[in-house]
Amino acid sequence: MNALVHFVQAVRQSRSGRISLNIVTGFLVLALIGPWIAPYGPFERVYDGAGDLVRLSPPSAQHWLGTTNLGRDVLSQMLWGVRSAMIIGFATAFGVVAIGVNIGLVSGYFGGRIDALMMRITDIFLGLPFLPFIIVILSITERNTTTIIIAMTLVMWRSAARVIRAQVLSLKQQPFVAAARTTGGSNATIIYREIAPNIMPIALVNVAFSLAWAIITEASIGFLGYGAAKSISWGTIIHDAYASQLMYQAWWWVMPPGIAIMVLVSSVYFLGRAYEHVINPRLARQ
């Protein structure tokens, strides 16, 4: 909680940080209330007064972002999609960093054989082609939010682990670690009480970049047709437009999800960078 307060205070120091924070907060609010304010359900077929399906209607007062070939309201799909983007994005980002932090801490702290073994395993995961691997897993298992999060976490923790380990290696040399050791602290105490709080900032930067990457990856999975079966995501909206071959006529169908991803992900990038500049003043020397 303290780390979060510090994060918010830190990113608010710069203008790009403030703007990005507002945008991300806005999306978080939409994730909470989106399904309530959405005029229609994500898969609801909309009929007009005469009882005809409203197919491929361009944006109008009735449908701000138009409708799809199956008469679904694009704005409603977008609003429902915020939630799945946020849930999958944040769950993956925290999963990735949780694994990365633990592996990085243990590997960096103990060094030697444990470190060698763990880094070898990390290298093997680095060799896995990430998107094909996720697709293979999702073609084997059931496709729902949980399996997507697990599949993505499985291939994304590897870079976080390396960054954290490098940080732990340099922290280990600091006097406070030696002090904790002489006062008889156990390994677990030193790792989680002394070193872990000091890697929180870098872990938070990793959460931000993982979040950005997870949102793009989730959209890619959806676009390729492997999104969660029973829910809507921005990637699946683009997939439906692409698969129906109507995407080049119905611009209102394809533009919103792409723009939403672009705005959200670049804000998250800017947040990560703003925070990085505060915790690492060398970067800010401009």
Binding residues for other proteins, rule: CB under 8 A, are 120, 123-124, 126-133, 135-137, 139-140, 159, 212, 216, 219-220, 223-225, 235, 238, 242, 247-248, 251, 254, 257-258, 261-266, 268-270, 282-283, 285-286
Q: Which is nearer to other proteins, 98 or 263 (CB)?
A: 263
Q: Say which residues have a Cβ less than 8 Å from residue 222's Cβ, sequence separation at least 6.
A: 233, 234, 235, 236, 237, 238, 239
Token code pair at residue 70: 């199956």
Q: Which is nearer to other proteins, 147 or 181 (CB)?
A: 147
Dist. CA 26–CA 32, nearest whole Å: 10
Q: Which is nearer to other proteins, 217 or 231 (CB)?
A: 217
Please measure the distance between the N-terminal and C-terminal CA atoms of the chain and give it in whole angstroms.
Answer: 31
Shortest spacing between CB 32 and other proteins, in angstroms: 23
Q: Say which residues have a Cβ less than 8 Å from residue 247's Cβ, sequence separation at least 6.
A: 238, 241, 253, 254
Place of tokens 């694994």: 99
Shortest spacing between CB 262 and other proteins, in angstroms: 5
Shortest spacing between CB 36 and other proteins, in angstroms: 27
DSSP 8-state assignment for residue 231: S
Q: Which is nearer to other proteins, 51 or 127 (CB)?
A: 127
Q: Which is nearer to other proteins, 7 or 130 (CB)?
A: 130
Shortest spacing between CB 123 and other proteins, in angstroms: 6
Dist. CA 13–CA 103, nearest whole Å: 32
Place of tokens 């999104």: 227
Report yes or no: 98 and 60 within 8 Å, Cβ to Cβ.
no
Q: Which is nearer to other proteins, 132 or 197 (CB)?
A: 132
